[in-house]
Amino acid sequence: MQEQSFLTDIANQFGSGESSVVDFLINIFITIILSYIIGMVYSKYGNSLSNRKKLMQTFVLISVTVMLVISIVKSSLALSLGLVGALSIVRFRTAIKEPEELVYFFVAIALGLGMGANQRIVTLTGAIIIILYIVIQNINTVKNAVQQNLIVTISNTSDKGLDENKILELLRNHCSKIDLRRLDDVNNSTELSLNVEFNDFESIIKAKNDLKSVGDIQFSFIENY
């Protein structure tokens, strides 16, 4: 009986080990797919000025590495404490300048943590929600970007006074909204600052060409944050 019980325990251990290997392979496969999708989303919708396509290649490595580490240490307190000591000496040589990059790195790490802890449903749900949020936010940003909100600064370049009424009438032909922000008139030098809203980029070009035809003025278009 004891020998039979011993053999049963060994069989259960082998079966459990086989199940663990299968779970690990499934988790690492899901991690690679999710982190790759996150990288594609970052490459397409990211606003960072750095090389996004080059940076997205690191997301898969980060997620898989974190998942591997968590899979190893999650069942051992000693290994967990060793991991804390090892991570305390790790430093980035180059600081992350873009907050957006840091957010995507956290997402990649979160994917690795979740799959390493074998929390598939929670991780998949969270990843899908994050991806949908980024896509929807980008769609809304594109819709809002149709209207260009700018600050136009106009000043005269000669002793001839600035004809504000003519300039306002000219801009009304191309702008959907005009608000006066500032008007300075000192020693025959006039500077006019307006908050204007264009419906498209073509309207900006037309307004620029019309302002050029006025003569004896200089102007600038600045994005209104």
Could you tell me how far CA 123 lies from the centroid of its own chain? 20
- What integer pLDDT is reported at residue 202 of this predicted model? 82
Residue, of 98 and 179, whose pLDDT is higher: 179
In one-letter notation, the amino acid at residue 52 is R
State the DSSP code for 189: E
Where residue 132 falls among pLDDT bands split at 50, 70, 90? very high
Q: Which residue has the higher pLDDT, 11 or 186?
A: 186
Q: Which domains does the chain have, with CATH numbers?
A: 2-144 (no CATH), 148-223 (3.30.70.2690)
Residue 2: per-residue pLDDT: 47
- Distance from the first to the final alpha carbon of the chain: 80
- What single letter denotes the amino acid at residue 181? R
Whether residue 80 has pLDDT greater than 80? no
115, 119, 155, 187 from 126: Cα distances, Å: 12, 11, 53, 63
pLDDT at 35: 92
Give the per-residue pLDDT at 10: 40
Mean predicted confidence (pLDDT) in 15-30:
76
162-192: b (≥16 Cβ within 10 Å) or e = beeeebeebbeebbeeeeeeeeeeeeeebeb
The pLDDT value recorded for residue 11 is 44
- Residue 165 confidence (pLDDT) above 90: no
* Residue 21 in tokens: 């290997």
Residue 174 Ramachandran class (φ > 0 left, ψ -120 to 50 alpha, else beta): alpha
Q: Which of 53, 32, 50 is nearest to 42 (CA)?
A: 53
Higher pLDDT, 19 or 51: 51
